[in-house]
């Protein structure tokens, strides 16, 4: 039984590592998208509106 538990922990650890890598990748994509939106926005209100449309967080808001 201990061998099975060891296998499960290794697989669980690999899965968690994969999930963390995916989350990091999504966060990087969101940051890049926010930079592009900010660069193309006419003003701060336009930027906030476009970020909201994309479902991205506005910097400084929770």
- What's the mean pLDDT when you consider all of the chain? 84
User: How many other CB atoms are found less than 10 A from the CB of residue 47?
Assistant: 18
Is 7 contained in some domain?
yes
Cβ burial, residue 38 (10 Å; 0-12/13-18/19+): middle
Is 30 contained in some domain?
yes
Domain range for residue 33? 2-54
- The total of structural domains in the chain comes to 1
Is 31 contained in some domain?
yes
pLDDT score of 29 more than 50: yes
pTM strictly above 0.75: no
Is 9 contained in some domain?
yes
pLDDT of 12 reads 80
Q: Could you tell me the two tokens for 40?
A: 């193309």
d(CA 61, CA 32): 18
Which of 8-12, 27-31, 50-54 is predicted least confidently? 8-12
Is 62 contained in some domain?
no
Positive or negative torsion for Cα 60, 49, 54, 41: negative
Q: What is the mean pLDDT of residues 9-29?
A: 88
Is 59 contained in some domain?
no
């Amino acid at each position: 039984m201990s061998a099975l538990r060891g296998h499960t922990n290794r697989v669980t650890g690999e899965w968690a590592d994969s999930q963390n890598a995916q989350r990091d990748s999504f966060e990087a994509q969101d940051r890049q998208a926010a930079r592009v939106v900010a660069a193309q926005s006419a003003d701060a209100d336009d930027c906030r509106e476009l970020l909201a449309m994309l479902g991205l967080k506005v910097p400084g808001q929770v």
